[in-house]
């Protein structure tokens, strides 16, 4: 375990091994306050590049706000914790293709259960995910009673996973880029329409001039500062309204 000190608060960070119900062991990055241990919990769910510096930084930001944040390594079955962004999508294709829906759900369930085991109240656990993690935030919310879930540009929810819409537990907040060249806008509309038809509580935010991965400050060519800052502020208010923060 390591301790880092920021201008806001001292936090503890560590890697932990989390057992998954399929018999595998999943490494995860954990960040939490150095002092307070009765705060909320959050699943911070990776994009296609793993538990990168960007994802760890996001977990640290939550820890500075009093959260216990866990970022599970979803490529653990192929032995990868993180990958460099410079390698592009081709480098992570073998690992991404090896990930299954059932495996991802099991990993999210294991991370949620780990938070419970650390004493985090089930009434104060949420999720935030990016790209494949944005999709998993939606799936996790259908398989564990999250208080709230936040999805950034989660592709393939429509049409592949809309059958989970009626099973959602907590309210959902979605962020999309209007200039996303990965997720077609018709899929964005289909997610909103599917959740509405299922009676799920959800909010949809589209930043018209932002593209895919606009929240990731580690990818300068894709990062959109205004959209990122607004999305974070909206996320914090959303979590406050749900009684998590």
Tell me whether residue 131 is one of the annotated catalytic residues.
yes
Tell me whether residue 60 is one of the annotated catalytic residues.
no
Tell me whether residue 95 is one of the annotated catalytic residues.
no
pTM listed for this prediction: 0.95
The single residue of 60, 131, 164, 216 carrying the catalytic annotation is: 131
Could you tell me which CATH number the domain at 2-241 has? 3.40.50.1820
Measured distance CA(238)–CA(87) in Å, rounded: 34
pLDDT at 55 over 80: yes
Per residue in 86-145, pLDDT (tens digit) is 876 777 888 888 899 999 999 999 999 999 999 999 999 999 999 999 999 999 999 999
The single residue of 164, 180, 216, 224 carrying the catalytic annotation is: 180
Q: What does the mean pLDDT of the chain come to?
A: 94
Residue 105: per-residue pLDDT: 98
pLDDT at 4 over 60: no
The single residue of 95, 202, 212, 224 carrying the catalytic annotation is: 212
Per residue in 173-229, pLDDT (tens digit) is 999 999 999 999 999 999 999 999 999 999 999 999 999 999 999 999 999 999 999
pLDDT at 31 over 70: yes
pLDDT at 5 over 50: no
């Amino acid at each position: 375990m390591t301790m880092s000190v920021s201008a806001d608060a001292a936090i503890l960070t560590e890697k932990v091994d989390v057992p998954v119900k399929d018999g595998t062991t999943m490494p995860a990055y954990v960040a939490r306050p150095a002092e307070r241990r009765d705060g909320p919990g959050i699943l911070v769910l990776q994009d296609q590049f793993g538990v990168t510096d960007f994802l760890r930084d996001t977990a640290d930001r939550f820890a500075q706000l009093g959260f216990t944040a866990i970022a599970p390594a979803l490529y653990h079955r192929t032995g990868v914790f993180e990958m460099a962004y410079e390698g592009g999508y081709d480098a992570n294709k073998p690992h991404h293709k090896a990930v299954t829906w059932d495996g991802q759900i099991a990993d999210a369930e294991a991370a949620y259960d780990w938070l419970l085991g650390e004493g985090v109240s089930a009434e104060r656990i949420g999720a935030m995910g990016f790209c494949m993690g944005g999709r998993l935030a939606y799936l996790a919310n259908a398989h564990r009673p999250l208080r709230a879930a936040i999805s950034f540009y989660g592709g393939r929810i429509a049409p592949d996973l809309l059958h989970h819409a009626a099973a959602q537990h907590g309210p959902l907040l979605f962020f999309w880029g209007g200039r996303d060249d990965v997720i077609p806008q018709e899929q964005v509309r289909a997610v909103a329409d599917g959740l509405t038809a299922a009676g799920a509580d959800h909010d949809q935010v589209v930043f018209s001039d932002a593209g895919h991965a606009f929240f990731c400050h580690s990818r300068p060519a894709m990062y959109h500062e205004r959209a990122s800052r607004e999305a974070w502020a909206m996320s914090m208010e959303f979590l406050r309204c749900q009684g998590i923060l």
